[in-house]
Amino acid sequence: MVAQNIRGVAAVGIGSAGTRIVSLLSRKTLVVDRYAYISCDKEDFSPLESADSILIESPIDQKMTPSMVRGLSMRYKQRIKDSIEGSKVVLVVAGLGGATGSGLAPVVAAAAAECGATAIGVAVMPFDFEKKMKFYAGVSLRRLRAASKGVVVVDNDTLMHSSPEDSTLADLYDSANKAAVKALGSLLAASGEGSRPVGLNKFLGAVVQDGYSLLGVSSSGGDEKAEDALAGAAVSLGRIAETRDASRAVVSLNSNDSLSAREVGLAVGRLGSIMDSEALDVEYGVDYTGTAQLQVSVLASGFKSTKYDTYDPLAAVLGGRVLDDEMDTALPEGLESIQPCD
């Protein structure tokens, strides 16, 4: 019965960052053929023309925590499952650090797994200056990894470096989101004339690994643009983890028809040495729908340790052990007597 309803790949945007990123992705020609949105703020749905959206409502106006959001989401569990039922792969896209993304990303990934799908988390981590968000982000990242077959980590700080110094906070978020969309879009692009996209199988082959997958992005329009962009992407990965620990990688090159076969070969052949990982297994894709400036997106996987380990000090203290196997849930004060329902 389910096999007859399979719709391929679904992308679920959670919270403000997740809905914006998935909304932008939905305007591109990708291997994704189904989109859904979940948030606690109805304003997140305002730019969506028509979408499968689920608003997690609280009858009490108070500051939410991830556990409260999970508690409120229990009555929406069947609707969440209905929005992804029949998909073979579910991309769970969320900004971690806030209550909604941190609370719901592991829940949605677990729901996708219960539906028989391969759940892939796409976790957008907070800027380094957002100190108060780090603990929620670190805990949620660990739980998202446990609930998923693989997690792609997008670091806002590495995407921020191309922004002007006088950018506002709104500009920084917008710039980081657009950079994430461009990079993810190049990795998930559908086949087009003259292009050789990465393809879903290569993407999943890199992501479904032990540890984490990290996304590095860089651009260059110089004479040695392939070398320069590749080095920039590797440097951005090095800010998050030891690049030599990578076991697999997918490199996507986005430019126009000025991108030569020599430059493609240089990027693919040099990635291992630039990352100081000579045994690195490298796949690649090329998209000629861009400009003369070359964008290189590197998705590297197999990282057991990242800078985010320090975000969740409790995990370090417990040495890999957990207090219990269930995600904690709570309800806002005054609603504890409400029973969950489907």
Give the domain CATH number at 132.
3.40.50.1440
Close Cβ partners of 222 (under 8 Å, ≥ 6 residues apart): 228
**Cβ atoms 145, 96 nearer than 8 A:** no
Q: Which residue, of 114, 148, 182, is where some domain finishes?
A: 148
Residue 103 placed within a domain: yes
Residue 142 shares a structural domain with residue 224: no
Q: Is residue 238, in this structure, part of any structural domain at all?
A: yes
Q: What is the DSSP string of 85-132?
A: TTEEEEEEEEESSSHHHHHHHHHHHHHHHHTT-EEEEEEEEPPTT-GG
Q: Does residue 212 form part of some domain?
A: no
> Domain containing 243: what range?
218-303
What is the secondary structure of 260-303 as a DSSP string?
-HHHHHHHHHHHHHHTT-TT-EEEEEEE-SS-SSEEEEEEEEEE
- Residue 10 belongs to a domain: yes
Same domain, 125 and 244: no
Please indicate, yes or no, whether residues 142 and 222 belong to a single structural domain of this protein: no
Any idea what the CATH number is for the domain that residue 239 is in? 3.30.1330.20
Same domain, 222 and 143: no
Residues 29 and 134 in one domain: yes
Length of the chain: 342
252 has a pLDDT exceeding 90: yes
Q: Which is more confident, 314 or 283? A: 283
Last residue of a domain, one of 148, 172, 200: 148
Looking at 148, 170, 199, which one is the last position of a domain?
148
Please report whether residue 291 resides in a domain. Answer: yes
Environment class of 282 (CB within 10 Å of its CB; exposed 0-12, middle 13-18, buried 19+) = buried
Rounded to two decimals, the pTM is 0.88
| % residues pLDDT > 70 (the chain) | 87
Please return the burial class of 58, using the count of CB atoms within 10 Å of its CB with bins 0-12, 13-18 and 19+.
Answer: middle
One domain, residues 141 and 228: no
> What's the pLDDT at 154?
94
248 and 134 belong to one structural domain: no
pLDDT digits (tens, 9 = 90+) for 95-143: 999 999 999 999 999 999 999 999 999 999 999 999 999 999 999 999 9
33 & 114 share domain = yes
Residue 324 counted as domain residue:
no
In a domain, 50, yes or no: yes
- Same domain for 103 and 15, yes or no, is yes
Q: Say whether pLDDT at 327 is over 70.
A: no
- Same domain? For 142 and 225 the reply is no
Domain count, the chain: 2
- Is 136 in the same domain as 228? no
pLDDT per position as a tens digit, 187-226 = 999 887 668 889 999 999 999 988 999 999 998 888 888 8
What angle is formed at CA 256 by the lines to CA 250 and CA 259, rounded to 5 degrees? 65
Residue 178 covered by a domain = no
Same structural domain, 126 and 255: no
Question: 188 with 200: CB under 8 angstroms?
Answer: yes
Indicate if the alpha-carbon torsion angle 331, 332, 333, 335 is positive or negative: negative
pLDDT, tens digit, 9 for 90 and up, residues 157-198: 887 765 566 678 788 888 888 889 989 999 999 887 668 889
Q: Which amino acid is at 320?
A: G
